[in-house]
Structure 1
Amino acid sequence: MSVLPLVFTSGWASGINAYAVVLLLGVFGATGISDEVPASLQRTDVLVVAGVLFLCEAVADKIPYVDSLWDSVHTVIRPVAGAVVAALLAGQSGSLPELAAGAVGGSTALMSHLVKAGTRMAVNTSPEPFSNIAVSTAEDLGVAGIITFAIFHPLAAAIIAATLLVLGIVILAFLASRIRRFLRRRAQRREEKRLAGTGSHWPPG
């Protein structure tokens, strides 16, 4: 069977939490649950690093505004991780060219990352922090669930991932006004900090 469904699903999940994807796939491979996982993802050092970074993301992703900063930093990291994981999966399977797999995984990760980042901007317009915690927890559970499901039912998982991606894009369109509000607030805070810094350099009157 082609590894393409697993490549697509891992790409979608990597755009949300790349470290969880690497950690879960590595554990599934190391424990013998799946033979689709390449040895490079099963290495102890890879699992340890992925685990530590996953814990860091689990904390940062639940703090208002810190989550959006974290997303900004990962605009490159998540798509690259999605592409690398996809290429490794294709290399292990041999049923799909690695370059094609990398393109699918990377582009899918980029799209799901943009949906996640945009949604978080909209959530951050709410003054209370509980919505961030709820959304982040749902994302973590969703990634864990769909990667686990993809190991046993790759095609069905890919269909679910594609559906979630389309729904995310639709929801993002409805949240456009909130995202613009978030960006205006962020620009305003930066301008206030800049003016405060400029004012502190004026000589006393």
Structure 2
Amino acid sequence: MSVLPLVFTSGWASGVNAYAVVVLLGVFGATGLSDDVPETLQRPEVLVVAGLLFLCEAVADKIPYVDSAWDAAHTVIRPVAGAWVGALLAGQSGSLSDVAAGLIGGSTALASHTVKAGTRMAVNASPEPFSNIVVSLAEDLGVGVLVTFAMFHPMAAAIIAGVVLLTGLVVLCFLVSRIRRFLRRRARRREERRLAAGAWQPPP
């Protein structure tokens, strides 16, 4: 069976939370629940590092503005992780070339990361902090459920991931104006802090 649906779903999930994808796939492989997971993802050191980074993301992803900074830092990491996982899955299966799988996983991860980062900017424009926690928990749950589902029903999971990704891109288009207001507000606050620091003089 082609590994393409699993590559696509893991790519989408990597754009949302790459560390969770590595941990989930590694656990499925290490426990023998799936034979489609390459040994590289099952190595203890890989699982430990990914698990620690997942815990860091679980905290940072729920704090307003910190989540956007974390997303900015992962603009390269998540697509690279999606490409890496895709290439590993293709190498394990042999039904798809590593290069093609890497391109699919990486591009899908970049698209879902763009949706995630853009949505968080819009959420941060909200005056209350609880929406960040709700959105973050929904993302974590979505990644966990869909990756797990993909291990047993890859084609159905890929269809769901595609619908979620397309819906997210459409919603993001409507949120662009809110994101622009958020960026202007953040730039204004940065300028106010700079002016305040310049106006303050230490006592003689």
Give the structure-2-normalised TM-score. Answer: 0.97
Aligned partners of 2:63 and 2:203: how far apart in 1?
Answer: 38
Aligned partners of 2:190 and 2:43: how far apart in 1?
Answer: 43
1:107-128 per-position Cα deviation (integer Å, ceiling 9, x unaligned): 0000000000000000001111
Aligned: 1:67 with 2:67:
yes
Give the deviation of 1:204 after TM superposition: 7.7
- Mark the CA change 1:57 to 1:203 in structure 2 (over 3 Å): closer, same or farther: closer
1:53 corresponds in structure 2 to 53
Gaps of 5+ in 1: none
Aligned partners of 1:128 and 1:5: how far apart in 2?
Answer: 38
RMSD: 1.3
- Amino acid across the alignment from 1:170: V
1:193 corresponds in structure 2 to 193
2:97 corresponds in structure 1 to 97
Aligned partners of 2:114 and 2:101: how far apart in 1?
Answer: 20
Aligned: 1:145 with 2:145:
yes
SS in 1 for 2:76: helix
Query: How many residues are paired up?
Result: 204
1:91-148 per-position Cα deviation (integer Å, ceiling 9, x unaligned): 0111100001000000000000000000000000111111000000000000000000
- Amino acid across the alignment from 1:112: S
Query: Which aligned pairs between 1:10-89 and structure 2 lie closer than 5 A?
Result: 10-89=10-89
Farther-moved stretch of structure 1 (175-184 vs 14-23): 175-184
Aligned partners of 2:192 and 2:78: how far apart in 1?
Answer: 32
Give the deviation of 1:187 after TM superposition: 1.1
Give the structure-1-normalised TM-score. Answer: 0.96
Question: Percent of counterpart pairs with the same letter?
Answer: 77
